[in-house]
Amino acid sequence: MSFYVTTPIYYVNGEPHLGHAYSTMAADVLARHHRQRGEDVFFLTGTDEHGEPVELAAAREGISPRELADRNAPKFERMAARVEATNDFFIRTSDPRHMDRVSEVIQRVYDNGHVYEGVYEGWYCPRCADFKTERELGPGNTCPIHEIALEREREENWFFRLSAFEDDLKRLYAERPEFVVPEHRRNEALSFIAHGLQDVSLSRPNLNWGLRLPWDPEQRMYVWFDALLNYYTALSFAREGEDLSERFWPSCFHVLAKDILKFHAVIWPALLLAAGLEPPRGMVIHGYLLMGERKMSKSLGDVIDPGEVIDRFGADALRFYCLREVSFGQDGSVSAAGFETRYETELANDWGNLASRTLAMLARYRGGVVPEAAPDPELASGDDGLEGLEVRVCELIDRAELSGALEAIWSRVRRLNRYVEERSPWVLAKQEGESAGEGDGGGAPGEAGREAQQPGRPRTRSGAGDQLDVVLYNLAEGVRTLALLLVAFMPASSERLLDALGEDSREIAGFGSRGGGAMTERIPPLFPKLD
């Protein structure tokens, strides 16, 4: 089974910010999670480099568009690395291999008769060098930026016959209810389609930094078509000497923000159909991370600087915070104060401390060996029971409900902390020590205790000792299964914890699927408090 996940390709004319990182982190969670399920995964991110804004920005600096792109693309590549994204490739649309492939595909669209020559007429601003939409116009048909009166201009364009795909799109949406999630975004796309589709410009003359149309080199492709096609073209050259298209298309899932919904949910599938290709398997539309009401702007004070957070707390903490704090698919506020609260209460106190106390008791009471015992039904069942959690989490992640998955996991983190209190292992340990009397009753720490736990040792302990085995086994097993589910979200810390638990596998596993016997070790706090 193959799973191909993409982020949007980021427009190279700008600096990476938390919003970009958010898409990348979410896509990475999906990629890692599906790898854990043993699927054949390919994860793509990259930069979108053509188009007029890049051309203009480069001109302002007196450099070529390519130089501008070459300078900025690495920033996005580094951003992906910083949030510990495991992308298999980083595509740049200025890559000649991408451009060649785009030409092939768009030629097919042309050959299939979905393109025609027409005239685009609109309000043109010579200073912006761009057409303005009716909505953008200032009073009296003026440019909102330059405040000058605009003229009606006509321009030869090639058009893509989007209108011809209305029925196909409606059918696609009807047959695949989860093509676009969350549902409110799906409805938005659907109502957009229902209102009737108009053809869209495919190319323009007078562009310099863009792909030439194969059948009309005077015209350059509108950057959107070039950009969308990256998801498909990358597969043909991402791996040297190999074409992955067969292997990963159309099992493709897009992660994107709501501002580019229409391009992905309407134009993109139509374009693929026009080229005789399958639409992707689906897409998830996420919202914006708001900082103090404003969208991503650097207003005063309480903002999140992703680089700084990663430096101080690690990428795991940033990934967790963003996906936990705002319900994935909706807009939500993030702040430095909010981050600190979640970091301290949930990562350090709830989860990190649960790991610490579990490992500590394992070491202290059982010499670092997970005892042999059965899953405790008390812990396995109930609303926040451990049993079946992995199934639930997989279902949620299949619907791209990442925050929902974290919430499901967290209710079990709390459950395990409660379990510790309910069973008071330290009391059991004391009782065990007392009734064991003379011997090596199990209270002995260090090597002696470890020796005492070798398999085959006669089980002469008291009832308290057996109960302690049960509690410690269940704690170890509970923490282990949660850590496995958290690998996708917080890879570094989860890996460290799993190593400490003597777990080699990274496959998603159910509660109780592993027996006792594993060697564990104490480790420094997963999420240290930094006061």
- The catalytic site residues sit at 17, 20, 125, 128, 143, 146, 295, 298
Among 110, 173, 224, 232, which residue sits at the site for RNA (rule: CB under 7 A)? 224
Nearer to RNA, 65 or 502 (CB): 65
Q: CB–CB of 105/275 below 8 Å? A: yes
Asked if 335 touches RNA (CB under 7 A), the answer is no
Q: Which is nearer to RNA, 97 or 357 (CB)?
A: 357
Residue 115 and residue 104 in contact, taking contact as beta carbons nearer than 8 Å: no
Chain residues 346-405 in contact with RNA, contact rule CB under 7 A? 348-353, 355-357, 360-361, 364
Rounded to a whole number of angstroms, the minimum distance from the CB of residue 466 to RNA is 18
Question: Of the candidates 287, 297, 285, 284, which has an alpha carbon nearest to the alpha carbon of residue 325?
Answer: 287
Query: Please, what is the minimum distance in Å from the beta carbon of residue 119 to RNA?
Result: 11
The nearest distance, CB 241 to RNA, in angstroms, is 29
- Complex with RNA: residue 421 or 504, whichever CB lies closer: 421
Query: In whole angstroms, how close is the CB of 229 to RNA at the nearest point?
Result: 11
Which residue in the block uniquely carries the two structure tokens 């410690």?
A: 472
| H helix intervals, 209-256 | 223-228, 230-237, 245-248
* Smallest separation (angstroms) from RNA to the CB of 495: 15
Which residue's CB is nearer to RNA, number 52 or number 95?
52
Q: How far is the CB of 306 from RNA (least distance, A)?
A: 19
Structure tokens at 215: 């059948």
Q: Among 71, 78, 184, 294, indicate the residue that binds RNA (CB under 7 A).
A: 184
Applying CB under 7 A, which of residues 72, 87, 94, 201 lies at the interface with RNA?
201
Binding mask 43-72 for RNA (x = CB under 7 A): -----x--xxxx------------------
Closest CA to 503 of 362, 316, 346, 405: 362
* Neighbouring C-alpha atoms within 13 Å toward the C-beta of 397: 30
- The span from the CA of 270 to the CA of 280, in Å, is 11
Number of residues this chain uses to bind RNA (CB under 7 A):
70
Question: What is the number of other CB atoms lying within 10 angstroms of the CB of residue 300?
Answer: 6
The residue within the footprint of RNA, chosen from 427, 435, 448, 451 (CB under 7 A), is 427
Q: Are 319 and 25 in contact (CB under 8 A)?
A: yes
The binder of RNA chosen from 64, 112, 141, 187 (CB under 7 A): 187
Q: Which of 1, 75, 74 is nearest to 41 (CA)?
A: 1
Told to check if 130 binds RNA by CB under 7 A, we report: yes
Query: How far is 477 from 496, CA to CA, in rounded Å?
Result: 16
Q: Could you tell me where the DSSP H helices lie in 84-237? A: 96-111, 166-175, 183-194, 223-228, 230-237
* Angle at which helices 491-500 and 315-325 cross, to 10°: 110
Which tokens sit at 445? 């720490």
Q: Does 27 bind RNA (CB under 7 A)?
A: no
Q: State the residue for tokens 């004070």.
A: 301
Contact assessment for residue 11 and residue 368, using Cβ atoms and an 8 Å cutoff: no
Between 35 and 220, CB nearer to RNA: 220
Minimum distance between the CB of residue 509 and RNA, rounded to whole angstroms?
22
- The residues, ordered by sequence, that sit 6+ positions from 198 with a Cβ below 8 Å of its Cβ are 162, 163
Q: Which of 18, 8, 33, 26 is nearest to 85 (CA)?
A: 26
Answer for the pair 309, 317: CB distance below 8 angstroms, yes or no. Answer: yes
Here's the x/- map for RNA, 132-171, by CB under 7 A: it reads as -xxxx-------------------------x---------
Pairwise CA distance, residues 424 & 464, whole Å: 11
CB of 326 to RNA, least distance (A): 8
Q: How far is the CB of 204 from RNA (least distance, A)?
A: 9
* Closest to 484 in 3D by CA, of 415, 409, 419: 409
User: Which residue in the set 3, 10, 90, 158 belongs to the binding site for RNA (CB under 7 A)?
Assistant: 10
By CB under 7 A, tell whether 196 contacts RNA: yes
CA-to-CA distance for 313 and 528, rounded, in angstroms?
9
Q: Are 414 and 478 in contact (CB under 8 A)?
A: no
* Stretch in the footprint of RNA (CB under 7 A) among 79-87, 142-150, 256-264, 389-397: 256-264
Q: Is 327 in the site for RNA (CB under 7 A)?
A: yes
Which residue, 41 or 228, is less far from RNA as judged by CB? 228
Out of 19, 138, 332, 443, name the contact with RNA by CB under 7 A. Answer: 332
Contact between 421 and RNA (CB under 7 A)?
yes
In angstroms, the CA 302 to CA 334 distance is: 9
The site for RNA (CB under 7 A) is made up of 8-11, 13, 48, 51-54, 120, 130-131, 133-136, 162, 184, 187-188, 191-192, 195-201, 222-224, 227, 258-260, 262-263, 327, 332-333, 341, 345, 348-353, 355-357, 360-361, 364, 414, 417-418, 420-421, 424-427, 525-529
